[in-house]
Structure 1
Amino acid sequence: MMNTVAAKDIIPLLDLTSLNDSDNESSTRALCKKAVTAHGHVAAVCVYPQWVSCAREALAEFGATDIELATVVNFPQGNDDQATVLAQTKRALDDGATEIDVVIPYQALIDGDEESPAALLKAVCELTHQRGALVKVILETGALESEKFILLAAGIAVDAGADFLKTSTGKIATGATVEAVDLLVETISAKGVADHVGIKVSGGVRSKADADAYLDLIIDHLGKDWLSAAHFRFGASSLLDDLLDQV
């Protein structure tokens, strides 16, 4: 079933993202300015931890304090130790982050270790929630490959307290796929948490045509009312340009 979502209605679902080694103060300010469009604000901007303070100041300057400020920890390989990840998280929260996108230790899961990934995610969720912020768990579904591991990672993330399940870092060849997102929908539905656990599709979504496939999936399984920033996001940089061309 094909569902039509207008380009202007997708803009509020975007986490406008820049996670490049070349990022600097100028590019961070430009990202924040771009997040404020003539057709409404995006949901969030997502930057590396070292640019959180700069982004916070820029969003305030541009009158966009309603835009959430996201950053990444344990990124991108998901293999930092728990103490390091918690220190990264605390600093980001201190600097003004309102959303933490944390990479699950996915290689550990593949190697048969479920306990340490679960413990790390639970610790990050507890710290972040104490500060009134949200946690998006990056599953790196393209590295997990099999349905078994995607479902396992998604279940661990939900049980640890994740507010969103996020597909990808955008740093490996395989980003988001409709098949992987279908498994995230399956997990959320099976666990009965659709009222408080959302999905962030990230990695390779560059056009409205790309986005439409995921929107159709969500509408068909969870309903059109689920398409709000509280439940569903796209993590993207170039998608906004394509949407604005179609408004």
Structure 2
Amino acid sequence: MAEVGQSRSRASPRPKLALKVAEDLRAQLLAGDPPAGSKLPTEIELTARFGVSRTVIREAIAALAADGFVEPRQGAGVFVLDRATLTFNSMTAEIGNRISHAINVLEVRMGIEIESAGLAAQRRNGAQEAAIQEAFFEFDRLLSLNLATGRTDFEFHRAIAAATNNPFYLEVLDALGERAIPCDITSPWGTESILSREYQEGLQVEHLAILRAISAGDADAARASMRHHLSASQQRYRARLYGRQQSYSAARAEPVR
């Protein structure tokens, strides 16, 4: 693996160092170095190689794990995930940075999650239904505290995928990761005007319809509710693109004489 320069400016904040290390490791993993199924070098080895602290290495590994590139296993080390997952993540790496990518990933999610909602209604067990409900109410709790809801939004959808009892639904959603919910207060699109309380309460109304259908064991209603939710999300992103056009036109309109 290529090394990052040993010298470190005191002015460089640690998050940027962790990001740089993660980017370098990500590029090498995509190139097959090291191959899928193998272990990453130890923290001590990576610390020496990149010339950074162990804390920076841990943050970089955590970022790679969140993106589905590696999997830490307690007492065993950090393992590289299979190439299919790596390729999928490389395709979706910029979803959070462009509205057009968010629209595209929602289209993919529709192909997966509409059916997963129906299967969850038919196949979920008590624990799985409870997990869906817990994610729903955690969203409400975070919203009441004006905290980011994106992670819990994803957990709600992930719990539904898990309730299909088909591991491939969960695997595909995990490959997308939290980039599947790009509109959060931590994302480039997470402005107060977009993520208003009213906006997020609207999401919860849609989530509630899905939850009720799954709890009732109504597969058709679950599919319809999920289709409505994801279609509405696509429309919300398209509205933002249109809003940009309107703002651009208004800013450049010639004054009326």
Q: Shared fold by TM > 0.5?
A: no
Higher helix share: 2
Q: How does the TM-score come out when normalised to structure 2?
A: 0.28
TM-score calculated relative to the size of structure 1 = 0.28
Structure (1 or 2) with the greater strand fraction: 1
